[in-house]
Amino acid sequence: MTSQDETTTGGWTEPKATALLILADGTIFEGVGFGAVGTSVGEVCFNTAMTGYEEILTDPSYSGQIITFTFPHIGNVGTNEDDIETVNMAAATGIRGVILHAPITDPASYRATGHLGRWLERRGIVGLGGIDTRALTALIRDKGMPNAVIAHDPDGSFDREALKAQAAAWHGIVGTDLVPEVSTRQRYEWTETVWTLGDGYGQQTAPQHRVVAIDYGVKRNILRLLADAGCAVTVVPATTGLDEIMALKPDGVFLSNGPGDPDETGKYAVPVIQGLIENSVPTFGICLGHQMLALAVGAKTMKMHQGHHGANHPVQDTGTGKVEIVSMNHGFAVDPATLPASARQTHVSLFDGSNCGIALNGKPVFSVQHHPEASPGPRDSHYLFRQFVDLMTADKAAKTQPTT
């Protein structure tokens, strides 16, 4: 006899699928559901990181995407409140789904305060497990990141044709501005510094510089490292105008990471950044902020075939020759062939030669595509925050020198 959760085919008894991933071309992956019950549509990507799944699942830059983890054992160390990266908690559900190979086990970490499956359920994130994630990863490598629907029903009752139509009809990320879904809606101050064993997070009480951080979907650890470097940080919404930013009298401006098509976000972000460049305000960008800076100087961005998502990416500093192991999360890249003479390439990916950093000639302005705050190296790229501080220090010193 076959139970309610099983079907019999050709003499074999198999578990009944309680979750599906249906790609826009009609390809179906069947597995076991976990997390929230329901359906969600998004772009499927794969992430090769072996650790940091909670940080990945709360990174606002993943808004609009269904994340496939290539590492088979995800969830073993549970979840906690310290490793959440989003500041805007509404953005914690910006991702559209999560795909795993192995079942989620009970937590085995002294830092754990919860189980990943229940954590996903509370946040409304649909999960699919028990599939061949290698096959899905190979598909993405061959065909690019597909649009898809992920669905979870404990009874295994699915209208597959309707789900196929939903996946095929989704507009996708190209041409979509996702920043309004994740950016803060009001200005706030940030003083929390980095975490240390035994002490937790600290506070910046004696800042040397005032930084305005434009929030396109900023991660907490970026703000912590800015504060730790001696900055009083004021975070402002993505649509904040140049006059309002300049009225805060910043020593420097930070352009944050974020999701979506940079061309769409650039419609309101680029004029502000161009104004900062014209005023020679020390400026530092990461991820989407890097792409915004490139657009502001006249370069172009392009959609990547499979994107870069992982914590093992080698990036070379073109000035020093140093190779850094970095964290990546982006589906668009700056086209280095379109960089103007006023900008130079400072970092390049050793995986595929794509652009990973620029600096403006004669201006205290630079940016990187990778995430120096994520610390996979573990701290190979932390010097970038010191570089930003050095630019602010030099700029302030130049302004206070007497004129002759």
Sequential DSSP letters for 360-401 = ETTSSEEEESSBGGG-SSSSTTTHHHHHHHHHHHHHHHHHHS
pLDDT surpassing 60 at residue 3? no
Mean pLDDT lowest among 93-107, 155-169, 276-290: 93-107
pLDDT surpassing 50 at residue 219? yes
pLDDT surpassing 50 at residue 4? no
Residue of 43, 85, 324, 373 marked catalytic: 373
Which pLDDT does position 351 carry in this prediction?
97
Active-site residue flag, 287: yes
Residue of 30, 54, 152, 287 marked catalytic: 287
Which pLDDT does position 94 carry in this prediction?
87
Residue of 101, 313, 330, 371 marked catalytic: 371
Sorting pLDDT into bands at 50, 70 and 90, what band is 148?
very high
What average pLDDT does range 286-304 have in this prediction? 98
Separation of alpha carbons 56 and 37, rounded Å: 21
Which pLDDT does position 90 carry in this prediction?
62
Separation of alpha carbons 71 and 46, rounded Å: 10
Sorting pLDDT into bands at 50, 70 and 90, what band is 2?
very low
Could you say which DSSP state residue 105 is in?
P
pLDDT surpassing 90 at residue 283? yes
pLDDT surpassing 60 at residue 43? yes
Total Cβ atoms within 10 A of residue 261: 22
- For residue 186, give the 3-state DSSP assignment: coil
Which pLDDT does position 368 carry in this prediction?
98
Please say whether the beta carbons of 129 and 21 come within 8 A: no
**pTM of the full structure:** 0.95
Structurally, at CATH architecture level, domain 179-400 sits in: 3-Layer(aba) Sandwich (3.40)
Q: Specify the higher pLDDT residue, 100 or 6.
A: 100
pLDDT surpassing 60 at residue 8? no
pLDDT surpassing 90 at residue 104? yes
Which pLDDT does position 400 carry in this prediction?
86
- For residue 320, give the 3-state DSSP assignment: coil
What average pLDDT does range 317-331 have in this prediction? 97
| Inter-CA distances, 43 with 94, 148, 221, 343, Å | 12, 6, 26, 32
Measured torsion, CA atoms of residues 384, 390, 395, 397, in degrees rounded to the nearest 10: 180
Please say whether the beta carbons of 130 and 32 come within 8 A: yes
Which pLDDT does position 197 carry in this prediction?
85
What average pLDDT does range 332-339 have in this prediction? 98
Computed over every residue of the chain, the mean pLDDT equals 94
Please say whether the beta carbons of 239 and 215 come within 8 A: no
What average pLDDT does range 44-53 have in this prediction? 96
CATH class given for the domain over 15-169: alpha beta
| Side chain identity at residue 224, one-letter code | R
Burial of 19 (0-12, 13-18, 19+ CB in 10 A): buried
Each domain of the chain, given as residue ranges in start order, spans 15-169, 179-400
Separation of alpha carbons 286 and 292, rounded Å: 9
Mean pLDDT lowest among 58-62, 158-162, 197-201: 197-201
In 74-100, which positions are buried (b, 16+ CB within 10 angstroms) versus exposed (e)? bbbbbbeeebbbbbbeebbbbbbbbbb
Active-site residue flag, 373: yes
Active-site residue flag, 45: no
